[in-house]
Amino acid sequence: MDLLLFVLLLVAPAHSWLSLEDWGSGNVEGSVGEFGQCVCNVFLPDTSFPADRMEYMQITSNQLSVNVKLQINKISSLKVQLDVLLSSLSNLTARVEILESGPDKYIKLDFELLRIELREFEVLVTQLKASLNSSSPAFESLYTEIRNMSLIVDQLENYDRSNLEVIRIEFAKLQRKLEKCQDDQDDFSNAEIGTCKHGGILRIGKPIINQLNADLSASYKYGGWGKDSKPLPGSENMYWYSGYSDTLVSRITQYSDYYNLIMRQAFRTHELYVYNRYDWRGTGNNYVVRENTLYYQYRSPFAMGKFNMTSATPTYKVIPKASAQFSYHYSANQNLDFAADESGLWITYVTEESNGTLVLGKINEQSFEIKEVWQTSVFKQSVTNAFMICGVLYVTRSVDTETEEIFYTYDTNKNKESYVSIPFEKFQDFYVYLDYNPTDQRIYMFNNGYYVYYNIKFKVV
């Protein structure tokens, strides 16, 4: 897919459809959205359009058509994934340099690949259009762009090196503009990272959809993704992903940085199950990664599990009173939910005595034991998920297929519970994983197989 991006960017300087031209440095303000997020008027087919997703769209009819529409809306509302663009840009720049210096046969090869990608993409858009019965202008223009790009690839092939130099300079300009836009987006959180000098969540930004999971499988609806909540030195940029077609947790994959996550180039995959050798599998997808260790619900025995990805060793500890009967609303087997925040590692679950209401525990990471518990008054079965920020438990429920709501908080600093209403938008209805990460103050969601995250606006105190 980055070949495709390559073409788009090559075309950018010559054609105004990529309205980056308009982003004079004074103009960036104008493209900042409702919550201060960067709204970039770039129409760019990217990795959110892989062919497998096409397949998925065609398989089922009605429900899928709704999902697809939702997805297309996201895409055609032109909320471009700056992160993806940025990481691709540096790769693309490097590739143009290679083109510049490389022997002709490599250039030819690259253009041939570009053509193939474009053709595939053309087919894809045609199919998408047909399956949606959509006459959206965004589609029409996308279609035209692809046709145009094919022409331009042909022309480019005959260009000489000086033209490539021009393109390289345009890349550099683009990159600076995107970085500026990126900075604006990153300014979204209004609290200093690592501190708790805020009054909790004021609101949650729009879902930022990265892409389909690394297994490229729309049936992998059960999973999670994110960053280490307390990274070891040198692993600050690391991302992890785990996914499967049912609630079993049998594998976790690590990526050195965001670029490699998007490119699906893992540096390590840990199998938690090898037939006839060992079975360290978990279940429920409510894990967190911390100090390069996966904390998860161990399947057998039912316990808190801990898989140290540095030493590749598992341990577990049974919580004597925890019940395996109560799960969250969307999925089975979500009995133990781990969370990490500025103050450490947490777990929520239900006990026999709590009559189905959530219990929150603080974990001592050294001894891997629950050292303190708080009893909440929310019934787990109405809950869709929960996460922690600065010692405050945030509990969510589903409002409708497009909306989720934080409806309850428990502040362990004040031993105070509150019923609240902080709605936020979902990309797709179903999700199994929702966790805050204190290192970037984002909320990560695994949303029906897609990587999604949210920025947060905090209350000022």
Ligand X SMILES: *[C@@H]1O[C@H](CO)[C@@H](O)[C@H](O)[C@H]1NC(C)=O
DSSP-derived 3-state class of residue 118: helix
CB of 94 to ligand X, least distance (A): 3
DSSP, residue by residue, 322-382? B-SS---SS-TT---EEEEETTEEEEEEEBTTTTTEEEEEEEETTTTEEEEEEEEEEEGGG
Write the CA distances from 94 to 147, 152, 167, 204, 443, integer angstroms: 26, 20, 12, 36, 32
Query: How far lies 277's CA from each of 220, 268, 287, 443, in Å?
Result: 25, 20, 24, 36
Q: CB of 252: closest distance to ligand X in angstroms?
A: 14
Beta partners for residue 251, in sequence order: 271
**To the nearest whole angstrom, how small is the minimum distance from the Cβ of residue 358 to ligand X?**
10
Q: How many residues belong to the chain? A: 461
Question: Cβ of residue 93: shortest distance to ligand X, in angstroms?
Answer: 8
State the residue number with the nearest CB to ligand X: 94
b/e string for 379-400 if b means 16 or more Cβ within 10 A?
ebeebbbbbbbbbbbbbbbbee
Q: What is the largest CA-CA distance in the chain?
A: 76
Helix (H) or strand (E) holding 406, with range, is strand 403-411
97 Cβ neighbours under 8 A, 6+ residues apart? 168
| Selection from 341, 245, 225 nearest residue 287 by Cα | 225
Nearer residue to ligand X within complex by CB, 17 or 171: 17
Question: Cis bond leading into 301, ω under 30°?
Answer: yes
Could you tell me which of 236, 262, 259 has the C-alpha nearest to residue 439? 236
CB of 230 to ligand X, least distance (A): 9
Give the H or E element holding residue 114: helix 104-132
How many Cβ atoms from other residues are within 10 Å of residue 243's Cβ?
27
Dihedral over Cα of 127, 130, 136, 140: its sign: positive
Rounded to a whole number of angstroms, the minimum distance from the CB of residue 83 to ligand X is: 16
d(CA 2, CA 25): 27
Which pair of structure tokens corresponds to residue 170? Answer: 């345009």
CB-wise, 340 or 456, nearer to ligand X?
340
With respect to ligand X, which residue has the nearer C-beta, 15 or 69?
15
Closest contact distance (angstroms) between CB of 365 and ligand X is: 7
Distance of closest approach, residue 293 Cβ to ligand X, in angstroms = 4
Closest CB to ligand X among residues 310, 325: 310
Q: Which residue lies nearer to ligand X by CB, 205 or 361?
A: 361
Least Å distance, CB 156 to ligand X, is 14
Q: Where are the beta strands (DSSP E) in 221-284?
A: 222-227, 239-244, 248-249, 251-255, 268-271, 273-274, 278-279, 282-283
Q: Cβ-count burial of 273 within 10 angstroms (0-12 exposed, 13-18 middle, 19+ buried)?
A: middle
Q: How far is the CB of 461 from ligand X (least distance, A)?
A: 31
Closer by beta carbon to ligand X, 25 or else 366:
366
Identity of the residue, 25 or 367, whose beta carbon is nearer to ligand X in the bound complex: 367
Which residue's CB is nearer to ligand X, number 145 or number 404?
145
Q: List residues binding ligand X (CB under 6 A).
A: 2, 15, 17, 91, 94-95, 133, 141, 144-145, 148, 263, 291, 293, 308, 310-311, 353-355, 357, 375
CB-nearer residue toward ligand X: 95 or 203:
95
Q: Identify which of residues 60 and 91 has a Cβ nearer to ligand X in the complex.
A: 91
CB of 47 to ligand X, least distance (A): 11
Minimum CB separation of residue 101 from ligand X in Å reads: 12
Q: Which is nearer to ligand X, 25 or 133 (CB)?
A: 133
CA distance linking residue 121 with residue 140, whole number of Å: 14
Residue whose CB is less far from ligand X, 310 or 413: 310
CA 110 to chain centre: 30
